[in-house]
Structures are given as structure tokens and as C-alpha cells.
Amino acid sequence: MHYPNFINETELRKQGYRSVAGVDEVGRGSWAGPIVAAAVILSPKTNIQGLKDSKMLSAKQREALNKIIMEKAVGCSIGIVGSKTIDEINIGEANLESINKAIACLKKTVKKPDYLLIDFLINKKIIIIDDIPHRLVKHGDKIIASISAASIIAKVARDRMMVDYAKKFPEYGFERHKGYGTLLHRQMIAKYGICDLHRKSFKPIKYLAAT
């Protein structure tokens, strides 16, 4: 099994790029709640044991790694786009907006990254803030350390948000399924209808809202 490493970041540093950020997003396929992106700059000398794609980790493992990443990262930020905006501009544009928000926040809190390694996006024609040089990497969260770290930061941030939303909308069980299309979520929509957190432009939500 291959684990995320710093090969890409190290090669870029040799080319003169001193501040390389890994970028990833979570929540694209969810039926409710925001899409959240994270941008993380790690030193190639950083040693974080257990770093993996966030989907391959348990919630407990993600929380533990999130704390370590936050402590060891040179820079770390998130960008959030809510369900209302997703409905207004579509999920692809919202995905890009969340990424650019994360990068803009990174610039304010640390410094402008001079290169971005971004987990693979469906739309290859993307416009990154300030035209920062970037590369799209298929399965980047599985092979590149900074992207893997970003996937964990984004996942933990979004999961915490969905747990908080569950307090406002307790009928739907958001703390359990985080807005994804599970059987429980379908059952709760069938029973209670949709709420403000749902992405009304998504086909499953349109269908369930009409039945």
C-alpha cells in the first residue's frame, strides 16, 4: 500500500517554489450542508504518522490527525460555501469558490502560496485566485502529503459543522450521515420533508421533495 509522501512538494521546492500548498474539498456529493475546502502548507521535514486520505480513516483517527496537522502545519485554512450558494451557482462553481476561499484565507493568515497541488477536479479549466501556478492530481489525497492533510482538515471541519446543524434540525440525523444520501436520511426526508440545509437543486432532493 502506498502512503502519502512529500515527493511532489520536494521536487517543486527544488524548482524554486518555497511555499507549496495542498488543497482538497469535501462534501461535493452530500445532499445537504456546505462544501468545505482546505489548503495546507507542510514542511517536507514534517513527520506525521498515519497520514492518509480522510475517507480511509475513522472519525477518531481524523480528529487526532487534525490536531497534529494544525500544530505542525506552516499554514492551514478552510473555505466554506453553503447550500444556498450551491443552489445558486451549481456544485462545480461552488467547489471552485470554496477552494479559492481557502487560498484567500491562507494568504491572510500566513502568506501567499506560490504553488498549489489540488486534488483532481472534474472541470480541468479552473481559475485559481491570483493565477497561482497549480497542478491537478488524480487521487492526490492518497499520494501527496499536503493534499492528504488538507482532506483531513476539510473533513473534520465539515463534520463538526454538520453535528452543530443537527442541533438546529434534530429530525434529520445530520450528526450521523453528515448530509449524505443514506437510507436514514431518505427516511427522514420522507417523514419531515426538506429543510433549509438541503441542496434543493440536487436531483435526489428535487425528487424526494416532490413525492
Q: What is the pLDDT at residue 161?
A: 98
* Amino acid, single-letter form, for residue 11: E
SS3 61: helix
13-33: pLDDT as tens digits = 999 999 999 999 999 999 999
Q: Classify the phi-psi angles of 193: left when phi > 0, otherwise alpha if psi is within -120 to 50, otherwise beta.
A: left
- Give yes or no for residue 111 having a pLDDT over 80: no
Strand intervals (E) in the chain: 20-26, 35-41, 75-81, 115-119, 134-137
- Assign 124 a pLDDT band (cuts: 50, 70, 90): low
Confidence of residue 199 (pLDDT cuts 50, 70, 90): very high
**Mean local confidence (pLDDT), 174-193:** 96
Provide CB contacts within 8 A for 163, sequence distance 6+: 174, 175
Q: What residue has cell string 480513516?
A: 57
Domains contained in the chain, CATH given: 7-163 (3.30.420.10)
